[in-house]
Amino acid sequence: MAGKTEIKVKIAADGSQATLVAPPGLDAALLKPENLIFQVKAAGVLIDQDVERNVAAFAAAYGSGNSERSDIIARSLPAVHGEDGRVEWQQGFDPRPQHAPASAERTDHYQGQHYVPVKTGDTVGMAHGPTGGTDGRDVRSGVLKARSGKPIAIKFHPMLTIDSGGRIIAQADGVLVLKDKELSVTQSLEVPGHVDFSTGNIDFPGSVTIAGGVGSGFKVTAGGDLHIGGLIEVAEIRCGGDLIARGGMAGNGRGRLRVTRNVQVVYLEKVVGALNGDLIVEREITDCKLVVGRDLRCPNGTILGGEITVTGALMVKAIGSESYTPTVIALGDVPLLQGAHVKVAKTIEQINTMLGQFAEQARLIKLNPRPSPADKERLTEISYEASQQNQELAKWATKLSEIETAVRTQRKLDVSVAKMIHPGVKFYIGECVVLFKTAAKGPLWICWDEQRHLMYKTSSGAARPLSEIAQVSRGHSAPAAEGPARAAAA
């Protein structure tokens, strides 16, 4: 039919549109809308109001037919595909890795998994299921099938439930972890291998167990205890509980350790750090700068080089080496409380300065025999402010007294060396410096007597003045080089 009339209806292969084509010079009778509609319908195109309107417009536009005309007169209605299921995270509960807001070209490869603490009953997000979508149709009225959305790509551990409203609710206290597309709440984190680029840095509020070691440049922060199965390289370790390392730590001068409680480790080499509790080392401590809040026990190992401050007892097999390695140990001091002491003392000083200023202001006002009402009000203000500051002063003075009591209680000198103190070893004990110029054979014990004289004992004899085996001088302060370790403590 189209060939005889020379009017053509072209339909796109995918049925998305139909085009009416008319060559020039056609008889006007052929271009009547009803004729055109007949042809369009015959071609299989669904006729609706839009098509009728488009055909009428086509006929009108063809006019006297001076040139060929080609218009799209029907279009398909595309399918609206369904949306994939998704989780809309509540603010502050998104457990996905939070990369540093660096430029788009720079990615922090050390950045690791992100952990979010949750409490039972917390709504961590909303689960939105997939939608089905809406089918479309082509110009011939054929169905264009809509694709349904995919289910949520995250599996939910039983420690999280989804209520009828789609709320994702934590069923236990812990940390929200999204790992291997599973969302769970966990109280402890297990790293099956090493901490390296495959894991990134670890920063976890609870306890952490690392089966392997910790690579150079990585940071591990555990809010609770930390177990490390392998070697710790030039890494930064921060632990809110005990650190138990089955290997050693080779810090190369840049490895950092900050532990709130005790540390148990095979060896420490060139590590800077501080811990509030006991340090137990299986083998040697080499070239470390450490502040130990309580006892240091290394009964089968040597402290060789470095600067170590020990608040409590020191038990070690040997100190220093035959090659006169300078080894500095500060004892009878409570460095971890000294910072607090200095801070509190400074606050007290500031309050006293302020009180002095108030007193001076009041004195100046009172010099006037007839103070104005404004002066009298100012005197009232001064009196009130001074009274407030006096209350603060009393509070801080109590705090200072508590710290001083704690320092007195914790400070002790209890050194036990099983085998040898080598020449070149220097002890800072209070205001005394004890320098060993010759080797002192163990077992020997160093302590204070009742008059706080420095004494030593061997297994065979009574306590003797320490000055008999080492050079003891007074009037020296503790080594300044404790700085980095103190900084780590801070």
Q: Enumerate binding residues for other proteins (CB under 8 A).
A: 373, 376-384, 387-388
| Residues β-bridged to residue 238 | 221, 258
Q: Least Å distance between CB 384 and other proteins?
A: 4
Using CA atoms, how far apart are residues 156 and 165, in angstroms rounded to an integer? 16
Q: What type of residue sits at position 88?
A: E
Look-up of token digits 């789609």: 166
Using CA atoms, how far apart are residues 53 and 26, in angstroms rounded to an integer? 21
Structure tokens at 346: 């400074």
Q: Least Å distance between CB 353 and other proteins?
A: 21
3-state secondary structure of 405: helix
**Nearest CA to 281 among 293, 299, 294?**
299
Q: Which whole-number Å values give the CA distances from 388 to 38, 321, 331, 362, in the listed order?
A: 98, 58, 40, 16
CA quadruple 298, 299, 305, 309: dihedral sign: positive
Q: Least Å distance between CB 379 and other proteins?
A: 3
β-bridge pairing 440-441 and 414-421: antiparallel
Q: Least Å distance between CB 390 and other proteins?
A: 10
Residue 42: alpha-carbon gap to chain centroid: 70
User: With helix as H, strand as E and coil as C, how does 44-113 read?
Assistant: CCCCCHHHHHHHHHHHHHHCCCCCCEEEEEEECECCEECCCCEEEECCCCCCCCCCCCCCCCCCCCCCCC
Which one, 147 or 395, has the nearer CB to other proteins?
395
How would you classify residue 357: left for phi > 0, otherwise alpha for psi between -120 and 50, otherwise beta?
A: alpha
Q: Least Å distance between CB 125 and other proteins?
A: 44
Using CA atoms, how far apart are residues 243 and 398, in angstroms rounded to an integer? 33
